[in-house]
Amino acid sequence: MKCSNKNLLLWALLILATGFLANSCSKDDDTSTDDIGNPRVLYIRSTNPDAADSLLVGAFMGSLIAIVGEDLGHTVEVWFNDQKASLTPTYVTDRTIIVSVPSSVPTEVTNKIRFVFSNGEEMFYDFSVNVPGPVLNSIKSEYVEDGDVAILYGDFFFEPTTVTFTDGKEAEIVVLDKTELQVRVPDGAEMGKITVRTNFGTATSEFLFRDNRNLIVDFDNWAHRSWNSPIAHVDAGEGRVPPCSGNYTYFEMDGVGAWQWVNELNMMYVAEDAQTGRGNVPIFPGGASPKEWGIRFEINVPVEWREIPLEMFFAPYGADHGRDIPVPLTRWRPWEDTGVYQTDGWVTVTIPLSEFNEDKDGNPAELSDLSQYTNCTIMYFGAADNANDIYIAIDNVRVVRL
């Protein structure tokens, strides 16, 4: 007799179905809960046909696995660490248990599967649930006052989590989400890296909290020209926004139009100033390359900002603001894509020096020989179609390696 491939497939399916029904019926008819045989696990494999030959010693959360053994049919519960898996009775046989690793994150990590049988007995098998360690990508603002909340961004933040600062002070966790941590900065926190620890690993920040390297002005110890933008002295309760790091400067004016050069909308650090300057000291360290550096500061914009950019540039010693030399500059337009820019509190921003690529007239220009620059200017100045009311707070202007 000749059998087609189609008939062979039907016979195979019928045999599998018969065996399945017999197994199911024997389980239903067996009312004994004392004789569970001698259960044991031989191995665990993936249910993915492409990886079925690979034996597993661990799996990621949510993975569907096949536990292969003997006398497993009386299993009523399967636990991975301290998380209970959902069992489908028809997927539990003496030979095999098909089950998904729970997607919930374990609190107590034992790296074992716990089997509970119908007579109450238990069995353990070594198996790890692969939960990624934390990833710490960035911080909303590198400067946050003691007692205020710092916001960290990353991934795989799972309870229990601890956050410590460089000096070993542990932060109170205010909000914990998989991709965001809000922590209260402990009293006396110092400059340095932040560390996040979970049961599954440790992440240390690439950024530095309160990074004060290559600081130009912070409006506490180092200020700009006194007749430029005002300083909000926080001890006196000045300023429309709370501080991120002591005093700060701000640009505030109603009805600002195009190309209005206004002292109060200009933050100008000039190194040769007797009162505020540090003398002929370059802003950038020796050997700094424009391709590898940028200007960074904290900014707080509580009102809608549109149209007019922040113009930024450096100048050599003795050249005052230097814009008329002219020097390469950038016109920062954070509202360009959305039409409006407004922050929720203080944020840290970085502008690469590669964006300092035009002169005051818009002609192409390029920064070179950073060792010549001792002065720095940030001002609210440029083209506009309408008059604008603005309030922009700025603090901790510094140059950083990207």
The string of DSSP letters for 201-223 reads EEEE-SS-BT--TTEEE-SSSS-
Helix ranges (H only) for 211-298 are none
CATH architecture of the domain with residue range 40-130 = Sandwich (2.60)
Total Cβ atoms within 10 A of residue 48: 12
CA distances from 38 to 28, 70, 71, 83, 120 (A): 19, 7, 6, 25, 14
DSSP structural state of residue 40: E
Output the pLDDT for position 35. Answer: 87
Q: Which residues, 6+ apart, have CB-to-CB distance to 384 below 8 Å? A: 256, 257, 258, 307, 308
CA atoms 254, 256, 260, 264: torsion sign: positive
Total Cβ atoms within 10 A of residue 191: 15
Output the pLDDT for position 167. Answer: 85
Q: Tell me which H or E stretch contains 81.
A: none
Residue boundaries of the structural domains of the chain: 40-130, 135-204, 215-401
Output the pLDDT for position 324. Answer: 86
Buried b (16+ CB within 10 A) or exposed e, 206-236: eebbbbeebebbbbbeebbbeebbebbebee
Assigned CATH topology for domain 135-204: Immunoglobulin-like (2.60.40)
Q: Tell me which H or E stretch contains 85.
A: none
Q: Which residues, 6+ apart, have CB-to-CB distance to 31 below 8 Å? A: none
The number of residues in the chain equals 402
Positions of the chain with pLDDT under 50: 1-33
Q: Locate 282 and state its tokens.
A: 């370059």
Q: Which of 231, 330, 338 is nearest to 275 (CA)?
A: 231
Output the pLDDT for position 24. Answer: 36
Rounded distance between C-alpha atoms, residue 307 and residue 140, angstroms: 24
Task: Give the CATH superfamily of 215-401.
Answer: Galactose-binding domain-like (2.60.120.260)
CA distances from 129 to 65, 79, 136, 197, 322 (A): 12, 11, 22, 18, 61
Check if 135-204 and 215-401 are the same fold: no
Q: Locate 107 and state its tokens.
A: 């609190």
Q: Which of 215, 221, 225 is nearest to 274 (CA)?
A: 225
